[in-house]
């Protein structure tokens, strides 16, 4: 009997009797293979539970009623019949939840036929669908736009390298991220503060550079005949004068020249002590160097100011012998 070249469907011949038999057979074969789906593609022997119309792709090593039909499509209509696929046939496997293609020797998942392996990424190049093999650990997928193919690339180091505040770059760099509710971030670099800033790298230094050290109080007790005060620790000093200061009185971390700085001394005398030397060149109201009120518990308040970085000072006696 003559048949078609693709699906091997029977053809009618001249003056054929019972033409409906041939036609029905052809229609039945079309129904079996058109938009073909199979219940499973992994079985090598017929399952026990069957229903009319069930279809299976016979796996390698077929036995029982499927013996000798490796890779064929087995169709159950109360008896088994088999269709031998041609190269390029496709079928959907319910068990595999995937589309399978026959390559002339075996059935292969369509994705596997493209060459994909675990970790691969499928994409379309200028010719068709291809698989990008897995990248190395830590690499990231880099795209090049609509006309370029994706590729694996080494992940660039991430982090905040600068922060813009009101249009100006601070230049601070950050390391230690990503920051979480329990993580740590470390800031390093120079904080360049406009309008008189000196590039201090500590909070205390920035306070001093901005002339705001006076916002903080520091307690100082004399331990000898010299006195050293760091304005970065606070511009208001509660001074316990337990010794007379007669050798040296120094103040460090004044704001840069051109920026106003102030030091307020709240002095409590511990006896008959006095301060006879003062920082730099200090001039006083009225031209007279003050004498600290003598007597245990006596209190004086004196202010020193400078606008040239702590070279020249002006001294002001605010109050003496305060009760």
| pLDDT for the residue 119 | 78
Phi and psi at 163, nearest 5°, equal -130, 125
Phi and psi at 53, nearest 5°, equal 95, -5
List the 236-241 sheet strands across, edge first.
Answer: 217-221, 236-241, 261-269, 299-306, 312-322, 281-284
Alpha carbons 37 and 93: distance in angstroms, whole number? 6
Q: DSSP secondary-structure letter at 167?
A: T
The answer to whether the CB of 9 falls within 8 A of the CB of 26 is: yes
pLDDT at 170 over 70: no
pLDDT at 265 over 50: yes
The answer to whether the CB of 170 falls within 8 A of the CB of 176 is: no
Q: Which residue has the higher pLDDT, 304 or 121?
A: 304
Q: How many residues does the chain have?
A: 323
Q: Which residue has the higher pLDDT, 90 or 204?
A: 90
| pLDDT for the residue 194 | 46
pLDDT tens for each residue of 184-211: 556 565 555 443 445 565 655 665 555 5
| pLDDT for the residue 193 | 47
pLDDT at 81 over 50: yes
Alpha carbons 79 and 96: distance in angstroms, whole number? 25
Label residue 202 left, alpha or beta by phi (over 0 means left) and psi (-120 to 50 means alpha): beta
Structure confidence at residue 46 as a pLDDT band (50, 70, 90): very high
Residue with tokens 């589309």: 99
- Give domain limits for the chain: 35-113, 211-322
pLDDT tens for each residue of 111-121: 776 666 777 88
The answer to whether the CB of 152 falls within 8 A of the CB of 141 is: yes
Q: Which residue has the higher pLDDT, 208 or 109?
A: 109
pLDDT at 138 over 90: no
Q: DSSP secondary-structure letter at 287?
A: G
Task: Say what the pTM is.
Answer: 0.40
Mean pLDDT along residues 59-68: 96
Alpha carbons 139 and 243: distance in angstroms, whole number? 69
* Range with the poorest average pLDDT among 68-72, 256-260, 299-303: 256-260
E strand or H helix that includes residue 180: none
Number of Cβ atoms within 10 Å of the Cβ of 90: 14
Structure confidence at residue 137 as a pLDDT band (50, 70, 90): confident
The answer to whether the CB of 204 falls within 8 A of the CB of 181 is: no
Q: DSSP secondary-structure letter at 245?
A: B
Rg of the Cα atoms in the chain: 47
| pLDDT for the residue 113 | 67
Mean pLDDT along residues 226-244: 91
Q: Which residue has the higher pLDDT, 160 or 39?
A: 39
How many Å from the N-terminal Cα to the C-terminal Cα in the chain? 131
The answer to whether the CB of 209 falls within 8 A of the CB of 237 is: no
Alpha carbons 232 and 204: distance in angstroms, whole number? 5
Q: Please state, rounded to an integer, the average pLDDT across all residues of the chain.
A: 82
Mean pLDDT along residues 89-105: 91
Please report, rounded to a whole number, the percentage of residues in the chain having pLDDT higher than 70.
Answer: 78
pLDDT at 26 over 50: yes
Alpha carbons 53 and 194: distance in angstroms, whole number? 84
Mean pLDDT along residues 24-37: 77
């Amino acid at each position: 009997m003559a048949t078609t070249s693709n699906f091997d469907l029977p053809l009618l011949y001249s003056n054929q009797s019972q033409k409906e038999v041939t036609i029905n057979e052809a229609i039945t074969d079309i129904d079996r293979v058109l938009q073909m789906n199979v219940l499973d593609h992994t079985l090598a022997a017929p399952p026990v539970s069957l229903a009319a119309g069930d279809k299976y792709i016979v796996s390698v090593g077929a036995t029982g009623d499927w013996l000798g039909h490796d890779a064929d499509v087995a169709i159950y209509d109360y008896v088994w019949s088999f269709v031998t696929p041609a190269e390029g046939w496709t079928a959907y496997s319910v068990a595999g939840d995937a589309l399978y293609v026959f390559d002339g020797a075996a059935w292969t998942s369509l994705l596997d036929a493209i060459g994909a392996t675990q970790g691969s990424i499928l994409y379309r190049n200028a010719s068709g669908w291809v698989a990008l093999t897995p990248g190395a650990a830590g690499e990231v997928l880099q795209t090049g736009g609509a006309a370029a193919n994706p590729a694996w690339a080494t992940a660039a180091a991430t982090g905040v390298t600068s922060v813009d505040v009101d249009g100006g770059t601070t230049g601070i760099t950050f390391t230690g991220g990503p920051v979480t509710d329990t993580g740590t971030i470390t800031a390093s670099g120079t904080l360049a503060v406009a309008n008189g800033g000196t590039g201090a790298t500590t909070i205390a230094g920035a306070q001093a550079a901005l002339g705001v050290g006076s916002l903080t109080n520091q307690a100082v007790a004399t331990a000898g005949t010299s006195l050293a005060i760091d304005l970065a620790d606070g511009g208001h000093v509660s001074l316990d004068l337990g010794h007379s200061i007669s050798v040296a009185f120094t103040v460090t971390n004044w704001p840069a020249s051109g920026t106003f700085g102030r030091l307020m001394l709240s002095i409590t005398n511990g006896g008959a002590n006095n301060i006879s030397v003062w920082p730099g060149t200090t001039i006083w109201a009225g031209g007279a160097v003050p004498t600290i009120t003598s007597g245990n518990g006596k209190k004086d308040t004196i202010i020193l100011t400078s606008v040239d970085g702590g070279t020249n000072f002006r001294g002001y006696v605010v109050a003496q012998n305060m009760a």
